[in-house]
Chain A
Amino acid sequence: MSNRPADTHVEATADRGLSARRLGFCRAGRPVFGDIDLAVGPGELLQVTGANGSGKTSLLRVLSGLLEPAAGELRWRARPVRAGESGYLQSLAYVGHTDGIDPDLSAAQNLAFAMRIAGATPSRVRVDHALDSYGMARTMSVPVRRLSLGQRRRVALARLALVPRLLWLLDEPLTALDEQAGDAFQAQLDAHLRAGGMAVVATHRALPAGGRFLHLGG
């Protein structure tokens, strides 16, 4: 269950990115995962794999600060992360396995509101561009409840293109996506990594983008 990369690597990337030492989380008294070490630096991708129930979602939520770890510490740029700390929140983007979009609004309205919540002024141009990159140009004004699961997933991922964030925490991004959308996502992820961003992605199947792997579960 533990993954200990070479300590030199951990030291090198620690002060430029995300690092965690002996991270543990439990739910209802039972440990979900424990003793996790990880480090992600600029331009790096960490893929988190594991069976259902191995704690991938919980790990991502702990990394995003939504959950408090039971043990261990989390550091962003060599400083410990406090839950709800504005500096850390402005550096991360989180897409959970629920889409985070309201079914009664249209895709464009959802993304405009998401930009506002994320601390930016809504820009029609950026919203249109983000949805277009996922092939949603024609359906952007349709209420989300009329879209298919795959289309909703595209909208959720399109959110990543709206406000530039250094760290992406993605929970099963490829769920329900067809090949075309999957390729669009890969392209987006590659561009993000090349620009110096970093990503931690929980996934069932390995992404072609490579990177390092962290396997949860015994």
Chain B
Amino acid sequence: MPALFAAIVLHDVSLAWRRRGSILSSLLFFVIASSLFPLAIGPDPQQLRALAPGILWVAALLASMLSLARLFAQEHADGSLDQLLLSPHPLALLVLAKICAHWVTSGLPLLLLTPLLAQQYGLPVSSALLLSASLLIGTPVLSLIGGVGAALTLGLRGGAVLLCVLVLPLCVPVLIFGAGAGAAADAGLDAMPQLSLLGACLALSLFLCPIATAAGLRISME
């Protein structure tokens, strides 16, 4: 079982590397979006610093949503999704492996970039690192919840936007806790409550979302 999991993750990551154009696009979106806010709000350093955790979290959320549309798209187009559904292995496990691979190629680069982008907002390094920690726990939850949306909107026209419409409300708790952790860290307060709540969200979604995504895939194949 672990060998299968690792093999699927490796398979998807190497595929994503071959199509690295789309990964880089969503990363670029994250960078550009987070750079737009100072231009829109104004260069006042105190204001920007206060807003930084929220803005960076929203940009990360939107970038994750945009990249989720491709989670099952290629497999659906070339017919290999059928083979996944016909596999004797539990579909929830296969799906979890795919979502894990997706996070490695979309969520992980985001949180690695965040300390760099936080410099635009004058966020001190310690706060930026804690913000990245909140993204570390939070972005997998976004990928997991988004996986359900990706399964339900498989092959539909207007797919990516519809996916955002469906999934963004469900991601509100993660956004609140994640941005809250960043803000608390910057204010010198304890960020542990938020981080542990994020951890609870992660645990819950790790258990429920793959099952829901597998069910969604079966429904969408009809």
Physical interaction between A and B: yes
Given contacts A89-B88, A119-B89, contact A104 B83 (CB under 8 A): no
Q: How far is the CA of A27 from the CA of B8 in the complex (A)?
A: 33
- From B19, B86, B89, B91, name the one whose CB has the most chain A CB atoms within 10 angstroms: B86
Q: Are A102 and B87 in contact (CB under 8 A)?
A: no
CB closest residue in chain B, given A91: B88
Q: Are B19 and A104 in contact (CB under 8 A)?
A: yes
Q: Are A105 and B15 in contact (CB under 8 A)?
A: yes
Q: How far is the CA of A65 from the CA of B218 in the complex (A)?
A: 10
Q: Are B7 and A66 in contact (CB under 8 A)?
A: no
Q: Are B82 and A66 in contact (CB under 8 A)?
A: yes
The prevalent SS among residues of B at the interface is helix
Given contacts A83-B218, A84-B218, A116-B7, contact A66 B86 (CB under 8 A): yes
Q: A157 near B: Cβ within 8 Å?
A: no
Q: A64 near B: Cβ within 8 Å?
A: yes
Q: A117 near B: Cβ within 8 Å?
A: yes
CB closest residue in chain B, given A99: B79
Q: How many residues of B contact A (CB 8 A)?
A: 25
Given contacts A99-B78, A116-B7, contact A92 B222 (CB under 8 A): no
Q: How many residues of A contact B (CB 8 A)?
A: 27
Q: How far is the CA of A94 from the CA of B83 in the complex (A)?
A: 8
Q: How far is the CA of A90 from the CA of B87 in the complex (A)?
A: 8
CB closest residue in chain B, given A116: B7
Q: A103 near B: Cβ within 8 Å?
A: yes
Q: Are A89 and B87 in contact (CB under 8 A)?
A: yes
Residue of A67, A68, A99, A119 touching B87 (CB-CB under 8 A): A119
CB of B67, distance to nearest CB on chain A (Å) = 17
Q: Are B78 and A102 in contact (CB under 8 A)?
A: yes
Given contacts A94-B86, A117-B83, contact A67 B4 (CB under 8 A): no
Q: Supply 8 A–B pairs (Cβ within 8 Å), ascending by A.
A: A66-B82, A84-B218, A86-B88, A96-B82, A101-B78, A101-B80, A102-B78, A103-B78
